[in-house]
Amino acid sequence: MSPEEFKEARRALGLTQSELGAVLDTAPQTIRKWEMSDVRSTARGVNPVAARAMRWFLGGFRPPEWPRRPVG
């Protein structure tokens, strides 16, 4: 999964970087770096385990840590 695909998946799930970080037990700064273009010097490749988890989330899996949104 490319950084742009990862970012698009997060947005499709309606999560902020902080919320996704809480779900993945990862700092929001790390999420930000995973989403950066590879040409930036501070960019990191997307963690393969996180990419796999994103595919599960897109498929409908929701762990207990998933953020709850108020209804209304």
* pLDDT tens digits, one per residue of 13-61: 999 999 999 999 999 999 999 998 776 656 678 999 999 999 999 999 9
Give the global pTM: 0.84
Is 29 contained in some domain? yes
Count of domains in the chain? 1
Mean pLDDT along residues 3-16: 96
Rounded to an integer, what distance in angstroms lies between the CA atom of residue 20 and that of residue 40? Answer: 22
pLDDT of residue 22: 96
Q: How many CB atoms lie within 10 A of CB 36?
A: 15
Is 42 contained in some domain? yes
pLDDT of residue 8: 97
pLDDT of residue 66: 93
Is 67 contained in some domain? no
Is 25 contained in some domain? yes
Is 64 contained in some domain? no
Rounded to an integer, what distance in angstroms lies between the CA atom of residue 45 and that of residue 47? Answer: 6
Is 68 contained in some domain? no
Is 71 contained in some domain? no
Enclosing domain of residue 17:
3-58
